[in-house]
Amino acid sequence: MKSAAGLPSASANDVRLLCCGAEYFPALLAAIQAATTVIHLETYIFADDATGRQIAQALIDAARRGVSVRVVYDGFGSSAWVGAIDKQLRTSGVQVEIYRPERGRQLLRRSRLRRMHRKITVIDGRFAFIGGINVIDDLNMPEPRSPRFDFAVSLRGPLVALIESVTDKLWRQLHRSRLSDALDAALPDDPPTVVAPVADARSAWFAVRDNLSHRRDIEQEYLIAIGHASSEIILANAYFVPGRRFRRALIDAAERGVKIRLLLQGRQEYWLQHFATRALYGSLLAAGVEIHDYERSFLHAKVAVVDSRWATVGSSNIDPFSLLLAREANVFVDDAAFASELKARLELAITADSRPVLPAHWERRSWWNRTLTWVAYGVARGMLGLMGYGRH
């Protein structure tokens, strides 16, 4: 399976799967502590908690030993979390930019919904981390029972240069403009999706979503993979409210005999997204799509495996926020070993930590539950329509 677009590269990439903060943060810390020249870190949430302070201290230590450290966090995503960390970073030599700071009359503007949701770190132009994991403790949430279930990847190889160019371009623009509304419309395009072989000569590629020329790049990668699927699709997504094309692609795949399993959020984190997602369960179940509600903890993953070979890990949910509004970044891998590892993690979560949604039980829901799901879906769609994003 190949990318929708891209330029070939000659050398190999090493792509490693990291599950949850227990695997991700030690690897990220070790890379930051070993940095010698430059660190770019982008995150939607940078939290003033034990994990955030640990990462912040590592960044401060790097800056003190002469490493150029650049941090970008989202002005909405981090507004309730960042606390004193912002000042500590800035006064210790770390360069900090905020993507769309929350302030004044801007709170009512349509552009407020255009956030920087991607999670990328690039170190010394040699190592990169991409995924769905914010700089926040896995257990920093209401009534934690287990860590958030999420994934990232670490990368080495020529693909890192492309990823660094994306972070560098956004950094330079933010640094020049301080993200003024007048200049925001002129934020530069990110580079096109680029393909580069992994160690066994199969392909890995990197795609972004922005509000200029890469509006549908990540969604298109999903649609191509689903359209070519011949046996199986496993998709885990925290906020799953796909548009018509995406739903139609899944239903078409199920109708041609592809086994489809969706691992979705079982615990209510945000009521609107939670119930809006459930409004779509009926049509998917009727088409033969399996749905499993993850209940051990909060599901935060944005990953998929197709035919035990194609896989993706990234920041993009399958919902209007990610697919129509936010800056996102995903890595795609065409490699049986990588896909098998991710598949095994997802299958364990499905069998051990989730509850299947059975069609017969779903049809017997109470009237108030049915009403709530469709009210939530209608509110979500109506909000998008009012903001000018109604067609999807």
Question: Which residues are known catalytic residues?
Answer: 117, 119, 124, 300, 302, 307
Name the residue type at position 123: I
- Residue 310: strand pairing partners: 306, 334
Of 28, 23, 176, residue with least CA distance to 97? 176
* CA atoms of 373 and 118, how far apart (whole Å): 28
For residue 171, give the 3-state DSSP assignment: helix
The torsion angles phi and psi of 324, rounded to 5 degrees, stand at: -125, -20
> Rg of the Cα trace of the chain?
20
Q: What's 120's DSSP letter? A: E
* CA atoms of 176 and 188, how far apart (whole Å): 12
* CA atoms of 151 and 163, how far apart (whole Å): 18
Of 256, 210, 212, residue with least CA distance to 116? 210
Return the C-alpha torsion angle 234, 166, 216, 116, nearest 10: 80
Helix-strand-coil split of the chain, %, nearest 5: 40, 25, 35
* CA atoms of 186 and 151, how far apart (whole Å): 32
User: In what side-by-side order are the strands of the sheet with 119-123?
Assistant: 14-19, 151-156, 127-131, 119-123, 38-43, 68-74, 95-99
Q: In the block, which residue shows the tokens 């990291």? A: 18
